[in-house]
Structure 1
C-alpha cells in the first residue's frame, strides 16, 4: 500500500517509562508518529510520558494503579485477573476507529491491563500483533525462571508440577494467583490464540518460546530501537571498570558478578539499585555502588568502562544495555543462556561465560584484564554495532512493514 500510514493502537500497562517494555512501546509510538502513522497509546497506569503529549499523540490512560502499586491487595488481584474498566475503555476506542487501516499492537498486559483486553480486541475484528517482551502469556511468572531457587525452570507451564512449585519472587500464594490468571487467559479468554502474528525481539526467543506458540502463527523479527550516538572507536579501550548496569535483583546475576570479581581480583562497579542492594553492599564492601544515575551519566560510565558484565540468570528478551554498550565500543561479558548472547560474538565483541558458574565468569573477567584483548574486543564491538545499528528509524521501518503485511492479509481474507 503506497503511503501506508495506519492507526496503531499500542496497548501497554504504563503510559510512562517504567522499564524496557514501556520504553520500547513509547519510543515506537514516537517514531511511528514521526513517520506519518497515527499511534494511539492505550494504557492503564499513569503518569503519561510528556514526550507523547508534546508529539500530539493521543493517549487513553485510565489512571489506574499497577498491580504492585495498588494499596489494596484484593483490588489488585481483581484488576490483574480481569480489568473490566480496561476492557470497556479499549472496546470503546476500537469501535470508533476505521476498519480498513487500523491495527492493534499489544506490548504488555500483565502488570495492569489484565487478560480482559483480549475480549474487545477479538470483538473488534481488527488485525493485531503481539510483541514478546517477556513470557507472561505462557509462564505464570513471566520468565521460565524459579525465583526461589535462582535457576531456570524447565517445567511445563500449568502442569501439576508447575502448580506445586513455589517459584514466584514474592510468595507461593502469588504464584497460585498468577497460575490461575494464566489458566484463565489461556483457557476461556484464549488470549494466545487471539494473535496470528507475534514479534520476537531476538532470534533466541524463538528457541525459548517456539513450542508454546499456537499452531500456524507467523513470527516476525523486529529489534528494539536503541538510542545511541556514534562516538567513534575508543582511544583508550584498555582502561576503565568492570560495570553492571541494571536492577539489583537475584535473577540479574548481581551476586554472581560480585563473587566472580572477588575471585578475579577486580573491583565490581554497580550502576542501579534494587531489592538485594543492601545485602550486596554488606557481603561485598569492596564493590562500588553508584545507584541509579541520570541516563547521560550512566552512558558516560558505560563508555569509559573496560567491559559491561551482563550475568543474567534468566532468558531475557533483548537486553538494551548490551546493545548500548556495544554502540559505545564497550565489550560485553555475557551469560551463555540469556538472549544478550545473541548480540555478542564470543572472542570478537565480548566474551561468553557459562551461566550461573562463578568460576567461568571469574575466568572471563581475568581474561579481560589483558589490555590487548580488551582493546581488540572494544574495536570489534563498535564496528559490529555500527554496521547495522538498530536505530528508531530502522525499527519503525521494519515494524511498519510488519503492520502492512498483516493489514493487507487481513483485508484480502475478509
Structure 2
C-alpha cells in the first residue's frame, strides 16, 4: 500500500506526533510506501533514513510563530496546506492509497478537508483528542477546571469562555470549527474513525454521523521489558504537565493530607505556585523517556489525577509495564488500564481526600509490591507493542479499503481510468 499520513508536526513534540512517526517508521519497515505530510518541521531524521517521503510546509505553530495575527488566519483556514495536499494526493492511485489523518488543529487547519474530499481517496482519522467535534478540543472548561457537557457549537457552548487563555481565542476556535463543519465538512468526510479508549468513543458518538464506523487501535508503548522490581518502593510519582486539568494541585494536596512526599516529573503553569505552596513537593522538571521510566520503576505508585477525559494516557500504561501500580482519577480514560483494587486504584475525580486514602493504603505493608507484580503480569500478558499496533492498523486499513471499493466501484473505476489518461 501507499499510506499518506497527515499530521501537524514532522517531528516528535508530543503524543500525537510520536504515534504518527512511530507508525510511519513501522509501516515503512513492513514494506509499505509511506508519505508524511506535515505543516511544521524540521522533519525527524529517522524518516528519511527509512525511505519515507516527507512533504513539510515549513510553517509555524502557535509556539513558534512571531506573527500571531498571521497564525490566526492560518489556524482558521490554511490555504497553503490545502493547495499542497491537493497537489500531493492528485498523483495517488486510489487502488492502493489510503490517507490517514492524525492531526490538523495545531497548524494544518480544517482546510485539508477540501483537498481530502477532492482526492476521493480512502480516508481514516485517528481521534487523538476531540477537535473533530469540540471547538477547544477537550470537552473541558479551563476557567472552572471542570469537564464541559454542553453540546459543541450550541448557543451555550459559544457563549461560554472555556479557553485556557481568553474568550477571544475561544471565539477564534468557534470560527475555525464553523469552517470545519460548514466548509470542510470534516465530520461527514471521515466515515472511519480510530478511537484510543472506550471513554473517548462514548464522548464523540453523539456528535458524529450515525454511519461512522469506529475502530479501536491502541497507541504503541515504548517500554523495554524487565523483571518486576525488587526492594522497597519509593515515592508517589506524578508525570506530565503540571497544570490544573492534569490534577497536579489535587495530588499535592492529597499527599499533604496523607503525610507522604509528592514527586513531580514535568513542568507547567502550576509548577511555581505548587512549589511555593507545598515546599515538601519535589519538582524534578522534565526527564527524557529513559529517565522517566527509571523513576517509574523506583516509585511506590504513579498518581494520574487528571480531571478531564484524556484520550489514552501513555504514562499510565508505561507505569504498569514497569511494574508500578497506578492511582487514577475515575473521570479520565486512564482508568480503563487499571484494575481497581488489583493493579492500582480509582479515586473520585477532584477529591483530594479520596486520593489521600489510597496514598495511605499504598504506604503501608506490602500492598504496593503486590499490586506492582500484578500490574507487570497483566500488562505483559498483552503488551501494547509497536507490532501489535501495526497488526491492528493493517486490519483497519484493509476494512477501509474494502469499504471504499464497495461504496462506489463504478466511481472508483472512473477515477482510475481518468488518472491513467483513458476515457472514464
Normalised TM-score (structure 1): 0.97
Match of 1:3 in 2: none
1:312 to 301, 306, 309: 306
Residue deviations 1:164-187 (CA, integer Å, cap 9, x gap): 111100100000110111122112
Shift of 1:397: 0.8
Match of 2:218 in 1: 223
Match of 1:378 in 2: 372
Mapped to 2, the partners of 1:359 and 1:10 lie a distance apart of 45
- Matched position secondary structure for 2:342: coil
Shift of 1:280: 1.5
Q: What is the number of equivalent residue pairs in this alignment?
A: 408
Say whether 1:302 aligns with 2:296.
yes
Match of 1:185 in 2: 180
Match of 1:143 in 2: 138
Say whether 1:172 aligns with 2:167.
yes
Match of 2:342 in 1: 348
Mapped to 1, the partners of 2:323 and 2:375 lie a distance apart of 5
Match of 1:154 in 2: 149
| Uncovered stretches (5+) of structure 2, i.e. residues with no partner | 410-424
Mapped to 2, the partners of 1:99 and 1:191 lie a distance apart of 20
2:238 to 226, 244, 260: 244
- Matched position secondary structure for 2:100: strand
Mapped to 2, the partners of 1:53 and 1:302 lie a distance apart of 33
Shift of 1:235: 1.5
Deviates more, 1:127-136 or 1:49-58: 49-58
Deviates more, 1:329-338 or 1:156-165: 156-165
The question of whether the paired residues in 2 share the 8 Å contact of 1:198 and 1:219 is answered with yes
Match of 2:320 in 1: 326
Superposed, which structure 2 residues align to 1:3-402 within 5 Å? 6-236=1-231, 238-402=232-396
Say whether 1:412 aligns with 2:412.
no
The question of whether the paired residues in 1 share the 8 Å contact of 2:302 and 2:327 is answered with yes
- Matched position secondary structure for 1:24: helix
Normalised TM-score (structure 2): 0.95
| Uncovered stretches (5+) of structure 1, i.e. residues with no partner | 1-5
The question of whether the paired residues in 2 share the 8 Å contact of 1:314 and 1:337 is answered with yes
Shift of 1:333: 0.4
- Matched position secondary structure for 2:284: strand
- Matched position secondary structure for 1:47: coil
Residue deviations 1:198-222 (CA, integer Å, cap 9, x gap): 0011122122111111121100011
The question of whether the paired residues in 1 share the 8 Å contact of 2:112 and 2:184 is answered with no
Mapped to 2, the partners of 1:320 and 1:88 lie a distance apart of 34
Shift of 1:411: 2.0
